[in-house]
């Protein structure tokens, strides 16, 4: 049997308009779709296409399943929310390949990019990522909490805008509180903070607040948090419009 193709496809944060034409065409041509059930539910169904849905936590198993289907000659689309390269399935596929090399040598792997949550959230409110920023996942499923803490402190001290993915879950409700406590030690109380929930979905909700006033318990697993740098600021608008949040291109030019 000739080896097949594995496309790791990003479908964006939720709004179907944010699925790229390339992603839509790869999804339409696949013989098999593999992914977390909530992501597969966002892909239009097609006859003659087999769906293999799984639990969100089974990343490596899902990667192996997709690789083994492709090795059997199938055209497999492994579906990821947002961008597949950002805290998602693309890296899991390469981990699986590296761990079991060379058995997947005949499988062609391509990564089809998508809009990641921080881009979508930023676009909704202005341009908070307009200058240097970093992205940190608060999930300690796959890395020790001490590493996360060290990175948060370093990012805060280096004055990056910080996009926080995976801010909370039922299994670790207190970590987000610890993270905010850390940030508050370094960043000004007036630093803009944005809670962007379910961006691009029907239940989208955005809250613009400050580091002093932010209530981190409001964040859930569908929330992306953006914590500004010392330069990030608001431009007020006439109510009921919310202010624009942006970080200027030039650093240190504050009037
Ligand atoms: N690959 C995805 C990220 C997966 S990690 C991407 O590129 O966006 C899952 C985290 O992404 C969530 O906990 C949340 O922090 C963020 N996220 C994903 N979709 C989101 C959305 N529509 N609105 C806000 N945050 C989202």
Distance CA 31, CA 50 (A): 6
- Give 12-22 pLDDT, tens digit per residue: 999 999 999 99
How much is the pLDDT for 16? 94
User: What domains, with CATH codes, occur in the chain?
Assistant: 5-115 (3.40.1010.10), 118-246 (3.30.950.10)
Is the pLDDT at 1 greater than 80? The verdict is no
Instruction: Give mean pLDDT, residues 231-254.
Output: 92
Stretch (H or E) spanning 234: strand 233-235
How much is the pLDDT for 103? 82
Confidence of residue 140 (pLDDT cuts 50, 70, 90): confident
Query: Quick one: tokens of 247?
Result: 């970080």
How much is the pLDDT for 171? 78
Distance CA 44, CA 46 (A): 7
Query: Quick one: tokens of 158?
Result: 């280096």
How much is the pLDDT for 58? 83
Taking 3-state DSSP, the helix, strand and coil percentages for the chain, each rounded to the nearest 5, stand at 30, 25, 45
Is the pLDDT at 209 greater than 80? The verdict is yes
More confident: 253 or 192 = 192
Site to substitute for ligand 1 among 11, 13, 17, 42, most atoms within 8 A of C-beta:
13
Looking at every residue in the chain, the average pLDDT score rounds to 93
Alpha helices in 135-246 (DSSP H): 145-157, 175-186
Ligand 1 shell residues, CB under 6 Å = 13-14, 80-83, 86-88, 116-117, 121, 165-167, 196-201, 221-224
How much is the pLDDT for 62? 94
Query: How is 81-142 classified by DSSP, letter by letter?
Result: SB-TTSSSHHHHHHHHHHHHTTTTTT-EEEEE----HHHHHHHHHEETTSS-EEEEE---SS
- Give 25-51 pLDDT, tens digit per residue: 999 999 999 999 999 999 998 889 999
CA atoms within 13 A on the CB side of 105: 3
């Amino acid at each position: 049997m000739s080896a097949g193709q594995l496309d790791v496809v990003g479908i964006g944060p939720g709004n179907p308009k944010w699925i790229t034409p390339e992603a839509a065409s790869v999804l339409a041509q696949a013989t098999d779709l593999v992914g977390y059930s909530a992501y597969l539910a966002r892909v239009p169904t097609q006859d003659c296409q087999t769906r293999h849905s799984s639990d969100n936590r089974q990343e490596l198993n899902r990667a192996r399943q997709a690789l083994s289907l492709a090795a059997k000659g199938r055209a497999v689309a492994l579906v990821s929310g947002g961008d597949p390269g950002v805290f998602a399935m693309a890296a899991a596929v390469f981990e699986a390949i590296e761990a079991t090399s060379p058995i997947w040598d005949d499988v062609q792997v391509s990564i089809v990019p998508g809009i990641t949550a921080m881009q979508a959230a930023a676009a909704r409110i202005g341009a908070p990522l307009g200058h240097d920023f970093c992205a940190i996942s608060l999930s300690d499923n796959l890395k020790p909490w001490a590493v996360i803490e060290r990175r948060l402190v370093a990012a805060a001290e280096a004055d990056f805008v910080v996009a926080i993915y995976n801010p909370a879950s039922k299994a670790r409700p207190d970590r987000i509180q610890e993270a905010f406590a850390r940030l508050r030690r370094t960043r000004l109380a007036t630093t803009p903070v944005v809670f962007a929930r379910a961006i691009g979905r029907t239940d989208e909700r955005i809250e613009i607040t400050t580091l002093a006033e932010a209530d981190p318990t409001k964040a859930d697993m569908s929330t992306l948090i953006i914590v500004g740098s010392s330069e990030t600021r608001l431009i007020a608008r006439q109510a009921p419009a919310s202010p624009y949040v942006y970080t200027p291109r030039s650093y240190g030019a504050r009037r």
